[in-house]
Amino acid sequence: MTLIEIVVLGFIVLETLNVVTLYFFPGSRYANAIGVFTAWEKSKEHPEIHAFVKYLVYWVAGTKLIFLLLLVMIILYADNTTQRMSVVALIIATVTFYWRLFPLMRTMDKNGQITPQNYSLTLGVMIFVFISVFTIAVFIS
């Protein structure tokens, strides 16, 4: 098993836990679910808004699931070059977190809309670590 395969399989395992959490425990504060956002509980006061928020959460979970299954197929059937280029694509896609999501999370964090406080920084560091591991795997493989 190559380093790329090990890194991608590790990512698949972690993200699968996230998908399970989003589908079955969306209000959790673990596995990057949305319970950290105070708006999750507030949305329950308005059934129409809460239904829309749940729809978006399940849509994200479904999108992640499609993506994860594609990664499984790449690990199982793709040659080394395709696997490597897939990880480069994964790096580029993951970096986009810092373009829109991170600034939005930082603002919500600063406004007290995320619990625990500074969770946005924790998530930002965690995603940076993922990107770093992916990058190392691409250059070492």
Helical ranges in the chain per DSSP H: 3-24, 38-43, 47-77, 80-95, 101-110, 119-140
- Which among 14, 46, 30, 33 has a CA at the least distance from the CA of 134? 14
Return d(Cα 40, Cα 50) in angstroms, integer: 8
Q: Roughly how many angstroms between the first and final C-alpha of the chain, as a whole number?
A: 11
- Digit-by-digit pLDDT tens for the chain (141 residues) are 999 999 999 999 999 999 999 999 999 999 889 999 999 999 999 999 999 999 999 999 999 999 999 999 999 999 999 999 999 999 999 999 999 999 999 999 999 999 999 999 999 999 999 999 999 999 998
Kindly report, residue by residue over 36-77, the tens digit of the pLDDT: 999 999 999 999 999 999 999 999 999 999 999 999 999 999
Give the distance between the most distant pair of CA atoms in the chain: 51
For the chain, which residues make up each domain, given as ranges?
A: 3-140
Predicted structure pTM score:
0.92
Q: Is the bond into 116 cis (omega within 30 degrees of 0)?
A: yes
